[in-house]
Amino acid sequence: MKSMFHLKMRLSNLLSNRAFGSKTFFVSTPIFYVNGAPHIGHMQSCLYADAFARIQHLQGKNVVFSTGTDEHGLKVQQAASAMKKNPEEYCMHMSSKFEELFRNSDISFTHFIRTTDKEHKGIVQNFWRKLDENGHIKKGRYEGWYSVTDEAYVPLSQVKEIKEGSSIKMVSNETGSEVEKMSEENYLFNLPRFQKDLLYWLSKDVIKPVMFLEDIKRWIHEDLHDLSISRPRSRLSWGIPVPDDDSQVIYVWLDALVNYLTVGHCAENNLVWPVDCHIIGKDILKFHAIYWPAFLIAAGYEPPRKIFCHSHWTVNYEKMSKSKGNVIDPVSLMDKYSCDGFRYFLLRASVPTSDTNYSEVKIHRMVNAELADTLGNLLSRSCATALNPNQVFPRFYHHSLDNLKDFKVEELIKNASDLPEKVQEYFLDGYFYKGIDCIMASLRDANAFMQSCEPWILVKKNDEQSKETLSTALHIILEVLRISGILLQPVIPNLSNKLLTKLQVPNENRSWLNITCFPSYHRISNPMENHSLGKDSTPLFERRKKS
């Protein structure tokens, strides 16, 4: 039987009611497993998604942004038992930890979903029925190596033998998790049937960064097999029952992946679909880039438009894990460096294409050097009453540029004017560290400009030329700060708001749409000129002391 999406049976045949170019943008994080407390790896996915969501909002889109918790499966069942709690009580306790953390870190999610939600259970079972009605599910005996940690069967080609002391154990090549031989009767999904369809979907430039695409293609060519999508209730009681067969529970990954569809159904009166961008860590790439699109195609839904995959945080160059005791607690970091300081570090220091090693020294130096000094100090100095006694956004005088030409003023204006386009391109591609680097380079140039033109000397002179030169110099510096504040909103929303409020930039002029840089320089009417500054004179970001 041919798949319903066979080869070039176009994506257009599966398009939902939401047309391309829609004013709605749907972005998601993975839902996070509740067998342990949240750590900075979870926050990495959330902050990428939050930044993407804020960018789309600043571009005038209605945003659906989902996150939540994955609460079924054997690991959760075992974790609840270890804490002497029933699964419902345990899941409620752990899920609340995630939700509280995300709220406290200003993650702007619109939907927090739990797989124990009643609505989700109904949609999962309906999704199963669609797969079954379309002829993609069969019952059979599944034999192979099973990883409880990964909640997945691992093919023989991905299993290796390792020696630990005097004992020998089998582990997954990909994750390093221990596997055990298992044989049981399950429901199976015919994954190989969708090989050509998956390759066609991948040809649509859906995987970012593109370096992850080759891994997916290799898995598709080498490793597609019937996928076990249920577990016997005798082994796993904590999950959603298979429709019309209470002896089986739906595979936790099928259950979990359908969360995005549940949100799509709940987001508005009509289904919001497909997802515009899934944000995921590289450890769950196979589930999102192979299993999930195949499930969707089989059930008659359009697969996701984009999957953005990021690498991991490590500690001493090892992956974080509860068993190693090297998990970094995000709450303590936010207590020490503030919410925005924490957000800034995770987006500034991480590189999507390679793992990033965590360092307390790194975060301390980064927030002090860039948020307190480069950004905060520049704002404080240029708004100081000694230099700006009238506390206004000063006027710009074209003829004063001649007096500032020795201080690379034209270069500063040009580079700052180029920021919106450059930063937007980097941010939309998920390379936040590159976009932030461009902003910081411009702010460093503005600091150097201030040092060179010495406004503290100009302010002591009473002649008109010095006054106009001082006004123009401060105007240029504040304009660099205004542009930077607008562009940094997806990264440090609270600090950006404080900065823009100090400059008295109206809310309607803070969007990314049509940012006009240096309007006075280009002889465009500028309502900011002689506009009063805000009264708050506290530092934008307090320097952090060493622990």
Q: What is the mean pLDDT of residues 243-263?
A: 96
Tokens coding 484: 């930077």
Q: Could you report the per-residue pLDDT of 293-320, keeping only the tens digit for each?
A: 999 999 999 999 999 999 999 988 888 7
Which has the minimum average pLDDT: 44-48, 87-91, 178-182, 527-531?
178-182
Report CA-CA distances (Å) from 168 to 144, 174, 178, 188. Answer: 18, 18, 11, 31
Q: What is the mean pLDDT of residues 419-438?
A: 97
pLDDT at 162: 80
The rounded distance, in Å, linking the Cα atoms of 242 and 517 is 58
Q: What is the mean pLDDT of residues 246-250?
A: 95
Q: What is the mean pLDDT of residues 229-249?
A: 93
| Residue 159 pLDDT level (bands cut at 50, 70, 90) | confident
Query: Rounded to the nearest 10 degrees, what angle do helices 195-202 and 213-222 cross at?
Result: 170
The rounded distance, in Å, linking the Cα atoms of 28 and 360 is 29
Which has the minimum average pLDDT: 3-12, 43-52, 323-332, 468-477?
3-12
pLDDT at 149: 72
How many CB atoms lie under 10 A from the CB of residue 345? 22
Q: Could you report the per-residue pLDDT of 179-196, keeping only the tens digit for each?
A: 788 778 899 999 999 999
b vs e for 380-402, b when ≥16 Cβ sit within 10 Å of the residue's Cβ? Answer: ebbbeeebbeeebbbbbbeebbe
328 three-state secondary structure:
coil
The rounded distance, in Å, linking the Cα atoms of 443 and 158 is 49
The rounded distance, in Å, linking the Cα atoms of 545 and 547 is 6
pLDDT at 547: 66
Closest C-alpha to 246, from 254, 258, 234: 234
How many CB atoms lie under 10 A from the CB of residue 450? 21
Report the phi/psi class of residue 187: left, alpha or beta, with left for phi > 0 and alpha for psi in -120 to 50.
beta
pLDDT at 12: 43
pLDDT at 21: 52
Q: Is there a contact between 466 and 458 (Cβ–Cβ < 8 Å)?
A: yes
Higher local confidence (pLDDT), 147 or 482: 482
Q: Is there a contact between 115 and 31 (Cβ–Cβ < 8 Å)?
A: yes
Which has the minimum average pLDDT: 128-137, 159-168, 244-253, 512-521?
159-168
Which has the minimum average pLDDT: 14-18, 105-109, 370-374?
14-18
| Residue 209 pLDDT level (bands cut at 50, 70, 90) | very high
Length of the chain: 547
pLDDT at 148: 67
| Residue 1 pLDDT level (bands cut at 50, 70, 90) | very low
The rounded distance, in Å, linking the Cα atoms of 229 and 137 is 9
Report CA-CA distances (Å) from 349 to 64, 82, 181, 322, 489. Answer: 27, 36, 41, 23, 17
Positive or negative: CA dihedral 412, 415, 418, 419: negative
Q: Is the pTM of this model over 0.95?
A: no
Closest C-alpha to 120, from 131, 112, 110, 132: 112
The rounded distance, in Å, linking the Cα atoms of 487 and 501 is 14
Is 251's pLDDT higher than 60? yes
Closest C-alpha to 424, from 42, 11, 54, 74: 54
Start-to-end CA distance of the chain, whole Å, equals 65
pLDDT at 335: 95
With 0-12 / 13-18 / 19 or more C-beta atoms within 10 angstroms meaning exposed / middle / buried, residue 341 is buried
Tokens coding 63: 């945003």
Is 5's pLDDT higher than 50? no
pLDDT at 476: 98
pLDDT at 4: 45
pLDDT at 269: 66
Is 8's pLDDT higher than 70? no
The rounded distance, in Å, linking the Cα atoms of 478 and 383 is 8
Q: Could you report the per-residue pLDDT of 52-97, keeping only the tens digit for each?
A: 999 999 999 999 999 999 999 888 988 899 999 999 999 999 999 9
Output the average pLDDT for the chain: 91
Q: Could you report the per-residue pLDDT of 435-448, keeping only the tens digit for each?
A: 999 999 999 999 99
b vs e for 500-539, b when ≥16 Cβ sit within 10 Å of the residue's Cβ? Answer: bbbbebeeeebebeebebbebbeeeebebeeeebeeeeee
Q: Is there a contact between 213 and 24 (Cβ–Cβ < 8 Å)?
A: no
| Residue 147 pLDDT level (bands cut at 50, 70, 90) | confident
